[in-house]
Amino acid sequence: MTGSHPQLRGWDGPWAGVRVAVLGLGVTGFSAADTLAELGCRVVVVDGSSTPKKELDAQTLRIVGVEDIRLGAAAVDELPLIGDQAPELIITSPGWRPDSAIMQQAAAEHVPVWSDIQLARRLGARPGARQPQWLVLTGTNGKTTTVTLLESMLQAAGRRAVACGNIGMPILDAIRDPEGYDALAVELSSFQLHYTEALNPLASAVLNIAEDHVDWHGSMAGYIADKAKIYTGTEVACVYNVADPVTEQMVASADVAEGCRAIGFTTDTPDVSMLGMVRAEDGHDILVDRAFLDNRRHQALELAVRSDFGPMAPQHLVANALAAAALARAAGAEPEAIRTAIQSYEAGDHRIQPVAKAADILWVNDSKATNPHAAAASLSSFSEIVWIAGGLPKGVNYDELVRQVAPRLRQVILIGTDSSQLRSSLERHAPQVPVIGGGVSEDETQNQTGSDTPPPVEDLLRSADGTAAMRAAVAQAHRLATAGQTVLLSPAAASMDQFASYAARGEAFIEAVAELMEGPA
């Protein structure tokens, strides 16, 4: 239930005294609790774990009036959802699954559950501050790159804009800014959209759809349905990926404002009402707009050239830039602002990030590729690959990815405590490619051959010690790679079986490669 309490809108709404439970004391939960305390709500914060950081955040929240903060495994079970002390509203962090016990109870007791995004949309900017345009985007992959580019395009156009939501500044901090923003570039995850009602944004985009988080949503259909919610009520432009028919169908099915347009983006030659890329006579690839101009049937506006990105501009980066440009153009940004942002773009860490080159072997960190669709983008960027992959699969299927990239693979090294599913796909669809690793972790006592005997490589690769696993993978890659090849860490899986995050996994790769390049002390 996301649409209840229609009276709770605006800063002058009847918030005082409303009992609200905030689930999770991360960045999102902290900003939600702080905001609700300012509104005069009776807030209880619940988090299933207790860390020094959360204890410090709890102390800060108590200073601003949030007295009921419950941390630890028992806290969630002790939250009453029936009776005088039951919350009238729940604000949840993205990590709480719909099939969790507390969410099931909330549904049974008809307690509305909102995301922080919905709370921010209900509130709007502070009285006296400028009300921002909302430009929102989601997708299986490319969200962070696109929203970062969008922020830069808007700022280059002279707007006070900020990237927020699932990246950067919490959205509740953005809407509480005393001055306010002209525009919010909002990255949204499928988790956030699940707990969010219609946002009615100025413009919206779905970058792509591929199998991901099926375990969280219960089915691929549920995942797609939550992503599609982003288009509801859009006022000016629903941006879709021409190469992904699912996103176009989402737009066709969406209930949008009168006059809202469907705008496609493509890395091929664009049709009318699209942004795309054309090849000039001098051989340059030009990014063009055939959507936001009067004579779009016969003309196109030049936005940038591919070389504006620098020496390395893979296809997916161009696609992301075109999607960002479509959103920025919907908000009135001029072509010069689009080009300025592209020229100043710097790729983020852990996404197709070159980290070393020696003996004509390129080492690339793509740890942010946490699903097959993301990994396909980097695997398609190189021709001869020693692939380091594996981790938590999140309920996805690897067959299509392996079939697509098999001709590029020379060796595969699988990390992860259980990458047997990926190994099985490789054995079926790339039987000619040698594979190391991919088994299931056994008990830690499996290696009892002697205290001075190092464990076998297969055991190291699937060890819960991510650092040891990555060192073993890099060492194997160094032994196997030959001149002209690329050693690519692109896991196509989540990291939490061996690492704290995809960033920690990427850093472990960078450190292992650096140690290899330095040689023995």
310 is in an annotated binding site: no
Query: Which residue, chain included where needed, has tokens 């790769």?
Result: 509
Query: Which residue, chain included where needed, has tokens 């896991």?
Result: 491
92 is in an annotated binding site: no
Q: Judging by DSSP bridges, how do beta strands 435-437 and 486-489 pair with one another?
A: unpaired
Asked whether the beta carbons of 20 and 41 are under 8 A apart, the reply is yes
Q: Which amino acid is at 370?
A: T
Q: Following DSSP, what letter does each residue of 399-451 receive, concatenated?
A: HHHHHHHGGGEEEEEE-SSB-HHHHHHHHHH-TTS-EEE--B---GGG--S-T
| HSE value, Cβ hemisphere, 13 Å, CA-based, for 67 | 5
Q: Which amino acid is at 181?
A: Y
24 is in an annotated binding site: no
196 is in an annotated binding site: no
141 is in an annotated binding site: yes
Report CA-CA distances (Å) from 500 to 69, 465, 469: 25, 11, 14
145 is in an annotated binding site: yes
Continuous segment of H or E residues that includes residue 376: helix 372-379
Q: Quote the DSSP letter at residue 83.
A: S
139 is in an annotated binding site: yes
* Strand ranges, E, within 266-312: 274-279, 285-289, 301-305
Which amino acids are annotated as binding site for ATP, given as ranges?
A: 139-145
Which amino acids are annotated as binding site, given as ranges?
A: 139-145
